[in-house]
Each structure stands twice: as structure tokens, then as C-alpha cells.
Chain A
Amino acid sequence: MTAWGLAWRTIARSPARSVLAVVGVTVIGALLFDMLLLSRGLLVSFRDLLEAQDFDIRVVAAEGSMVHRPPIANATSLAEAIARLPQVRRVTLLRTESAQAIVPGGDHLRIALVGTTSAAAGSVWTMTSGASLPTVTAAGAPPPLVISTRLASELQLEPGSELQLRLFRPGTASALPLVAARVIGVAQFTFEAADEYTVATTMEGFAAAAGTRDSTVAEMVLVSSQKGAGAAAAAAIARLRPDVRALSNEQVMEQFNENAFSYFRQISTVLSSMTLAFAFLLIATLLTMSVNQRLGEVAALRALGFPRRRIAANLLWESVLLVGVGGVAALPVGGLLALALDRILRQMPGVPERLHFFVFEPRTVVLHAVLLSVTGALAAVYPIWLATSLPIAATLRREILS
């Protein structure tokens, strides 16, 4: 009989204890799996979101933080200069502000108003009905709006509906006039949060809502570079204006990784370590109890000539079986738990609906297996030492006397 076979029979000998051990490892393994998913999930999901867009360079004001940056002055002329660069394929401007959307004689909601050019369509949003933003807004015509599907559903709007807008600006909101606008299309917005309603309009429409004729200000210039020319394009843009920074997707990821995402990584590292410690204690305790209950058997096997390595192999296999079965069962349990936790976390204010906190990667399964295997092996060290170092004669004598 192989060490594996003997280990299996030993485990099957105490079904209740073995089931408890497997359930324990399953629960702990599921938590570990979720922590590992969390440690990279947000990063992977954010990168997917960035790469799903057609823009690979973001131009922002050089001053300020990634989240709070002042607008770029003369953004229109900057966009035109960028568009002339040979490495650049497409350029669009972006402005955002909180606003109030009011249905004449009806409901009103707080929205995120995005001012941009038609070039943003197809990457920042995906049309579901109606038309996208026009290149040129006719003089005197109401600002055209592309609204999110959620807003359309909430206020029962469709292309052709009228909507009034009023921007929120600290200290000036009450002074800003209501601007009558017209819905021309409904779309799904990539970065819309679960608690947010997004409305896009032209830069002129945004300026009108802001009570100004200046449509040359933007917070961000989105740039699509020619294939393989991202770095050269970013360098060329940086040379155009010293007061702006051109960030590639990788640089954006790096900045978020160093700031916002590092908290998740640290939390998941601490919790992963805790779950591994629990797994270690659980297995080590159960195996030690098991060995202590059969010291006489172990001593007899040793007296019969079974070498220490065989006793050690049996115990190691017992640990591998308990951790292996529990670890495999932990994957679907952890997966279901991750789905539920992801749903809860995505309800947080301001989190884009398409962003996920728990993202499955094959490497996570491999890491999960490696960590549990190492833990199982380490947990077997003490029981193995206990079983292989016991004095045979004294143990047999004690067992007889007891």
C-alpha cells in the first residue's frame, strides 16, 4: 500500500474530523482566493477599461494631483496642435461638471455633465439609440445631449425630448441660468458609476450651460496615437506645452497603482497572511491531534520496521489530501463569494459600473494552489517531527500501561 493510499484510509477512518478539516480549509481557502483576486482585481479591471477605449494618451494640466487638476487653458489650440502631430490619429477634449437635469414640468436629477467633441463617441460612450454629438452646433440651436441609458429610463427620456440643465458651481449655482437642451441620443457610458447619471454635450453646449462663451477650456485632452507611436506621441505632446503632462495608459496605471490601488493591495496582503495563518493552525492542530491519538500505532509501525520517511510521507499525504480537497472546493466557493462582494463594492459612490474589484486570472489559481500547498506542507512539519522522533520502546510501554 502506498503512502498516499494509507493516508487516504487514515483520513477516511475519522470521517467527521476529516470533513471538519476539509470544510475549514474550504472556508479559509475561499477567503484566501478572494483576497488574491482583490489584490489585483481593481488594477486589472481598470487597465481593461482604459485599454477598451480608443485613447491611449491623456493630456492634463501639469499642476495638481491625478484627481484634482486645474483645467487646461486654450485647450482648443492645444488640441489642434496635437492633431497636427504625425504620431497622432485622433484628438478630443473633455470637461466635466456636476449639474442638475430638469424635465420641463417634471422630475429633476443630479447628473455628471461631460463636455466633449463628437470624436469621443465610440470610446467614452456607446450609442444605443438616436444620434451622437454633431461636429458643429448650429448657432442659436439648443445644446445637443447624449444621455445615459439609466437617465433615459429614470426620467423617461428619448431622442427629441427636452431637458433643462443647470451647472453646480460652488457659490455660483443659484446665479447660473437654466439652459434648455435637446436629447439627440442615448448611450452607455464607460465610466458611469452605479449611482450616477451621465450626460454628454458639445464643448459649446457645456460653455452655454456654464454661462460663458468660452469653449476653449478643458480638463483633459484625449489622444489616440498611431499604432506603435504612443511613446513618441506622448513625448511630442509634452514638448508642445510645458504646462501640460501627457500620460500614457501605463503611466496612469502606475499612478493609480502607487496611490489608490495600494490600499487594496496592502489590505489583501494582510488578510491573505491571516487566512494562511489560520489554515496553518487548523491543519497543524488537526494533524497533531491525529498523531497524538495514534502514537501506539506509529510506534508499532516503527517497531515493525517502517522507516521514519514512510511515517513522514503518510502524514504529509494526509495534509496534502485535506488541504488539496479543501483547496479545490475553495475555488467555486471563493468565486461565488467574490461575485457577491464585487456587487456590493461596485455600489460605492463614484465607482464606474464597469469597474470590478474581483477579477479572475489563471495566475491567481496557481498562486492560490502554491500558497495552500506550502502552508499544508509547513503545517505537517510539527506532527511529522512528533511522529518520527517518538521513542519507540517508551511509547509502546506507555501505551500498554495506559
Chain B
Amino acid sequence: MTGAAMPIIEGRGLTRSFAMPAGAVTALGDVSIRVEPQDYVAITGPSGCGKSTLLHILGCVDRPSAGSLEFEGRDVRGLTEAERSRIRLTRIGFVFQRFFLLPMLTAWENIELPQSEAGATKAARHARTRELLDYVGLAERSDHRPSQLSGGEMQRVAIARALANRPALLLADEPTGELDEETGAQIAGLFDRVHADGTAIVVVTHNPAVAARAGRHLAMKSGRVVTS
């Protein structure tokens, strides 16, 4: 059998409208996107142009009002909420602008939590968590809580958490938005390593330095992709 490899995710004609008192607002209009394994895609554009909306649809946390979406060949629209949760847990990693680490858990526990939910054994969790803490350079801070970490360290823990279940796709929404330039550059460097190690990345960013590291760029405006 020949032909291209199956994309991780492929959306066609994705549209997302929100009902508002003054009438429906279209946040995303007829956007098509295909993310292959080994892709590193940066989505840029002004605030409110639909970048995060597209990312949420690609991450199966939101449903398009119209269009089709396939994740690893499965039609996401036909999946139950539990099936979509399972995809998010095992095949997609999320990195948020505000980290959203659980403040009562240590860095180790935050990274271990998704593995525990996915059903990994204790030994496997232990090995993977140690590996990831080394990977993001925080092995010495494993028993620190988020409140004891800097912004850059928290984002590195969040990236380790996103990678915990070895996802095929890492989605990041303004991952350097809360960080200074130098720390942002460190996080961008970490994304480079993650990508080099075989994980596809889609990152929404205002940071030109982060966007410049991506292999593909999507520029958006008013809910549409204007350059690709």
C-alpha cells in the first residue's frame, strides 16, 4: 500500500459560531487544517481572530458548529464525551498560558496524575515521571509545589504533564504569554526538543520568536486563515 501517512488530525471547513443576544457570532469560519506526525505548526494572529477556538476544536474540547474533524482517522463528531476525554488523555497534550497546575500537588504529583488516570502502573508512572522531570530540567524540584516554582518552572512542569502519556499531538495556547522574554525562549527551546523527539506540535502564540521556530505558519484574521 502506498500513499501519504495518516494525519494526526484533519479538519475540513471548520466553523464555530456562538449564540449571542445580538445574534450569532462566527469565531471560526470555514477553516481547514491538517496536522501530520512531525509537524510543528504555529498559529498567529491578532486577539479574537479565532486562534484559541481553532486550538480547542483540534484538542477535542470544543465541537465545531459545522465541518468535519478526524483524529487519527476517527470522526470526532461521532464520539461520545467519554471517548473524546480518552483521546485527550492519551493522544493529546495540552499546555495552557496559565499553566493550570494543581496547587496542592507537587511537581512530581502533577506529572504523575494524568498517567494515573490513564491506568499506568505505579512502576511505569514512577519511571516516566522521573524521565520527564529530567527532560524538563526539574529533577531537583520534584517535591516542590507550584507556589514554590517560578513561572518558567511551572510551565516546564506543565509541559512535562502534557507529555506524560506520550501524546501524538501537543497543543499549546500562548505558552509564553505569562513569561518574560528569556524564560519564553527557554520554553520555546523545550518545544524544539519535544518536536525533535517526535511529537507533533500546534502552538498558538503572539510571540514571534516562538512562531519562528515552527515549520508551518497559519496566520489568522477574523476567524479565517489568511496565510498558510
Contact = CB atoms under 8 A, between A and B. Distances in A.
Interface stretch (B99-107, B130-138, B194-202, B217-225): B99-107
B167 to A, nearest CB: 9
Contacts of B114: 304-306
B79 to A, nearest CB: 13
Instruction: Name the residue among A299, A300, A304, A391 with the largest chain B CB count within 10 angstroms.
Output: A304
A291 to B, nearest CB: 14
A190 interface: no
Interface in A376-393: 391-393
A12 interface: yes
Q: Secondary structure at chain A's binding surface: helix, strand, loop or mixed?
A: helix
Given A305-B90, A308-B81, A396 B102 contact: no
Given A304-B161, A305-B117, A396-B56, A296 B87 contact: no
Interface in B52-111: 52-53, 56, 59, 61-62, 81-82, 85-90, 92, 94, 96-98, 100, 102-105, 109
B185 interface: no
A13, A393, A399, most chain B CB atoms within 10 A? A393
Query: What does DSSP make chain B's interface, helix, strand, loop or mixed?
Result: helix
A353 to B, nearest CB: 55
B116 interface: yes
A397 B48 CA distance: 11
Contacts of B90: 305
A300 B96 contact: yes
Contacts of A17: none
Interface residues of B, number: 36
Interface in A184-211: none
Interface in B26-40: none
Contacts of B139: none
B190 interface: no
Interface of B: 52-53, 56, 59, 61-62, 81-82, 85-90, 92, 94, 96-98, 100, 102-105, 109, 112-114, 116-118, 161-162, 165, 173-174
Given A6-B113, A303-B96, A306-B85, 11 more contacts: A13-B104, A300-B96, A303-B88, A304-B89, A304-B161, A305-B86, A305-B114, A306-B117, A393-B52, A396-B56, A400-B174
23 contacts: A1-B112, A12-B104, A299-B100, A300-B96, A300-B100, A301-B102, A302-B85, A303-B96, A304-B89, A304-B94, A304-B114, A304-B161, A305-B88, A305-B90, A305-B92, A305-B114, A305-B165, A306-B85, A307-B85, A310-B117, A393-B53, A400-B96, A400-B173
Interface of A: 1, 6, 9-10, 12-13, 296-297, 299-308, 310, 391-393, 396-397, 399-400
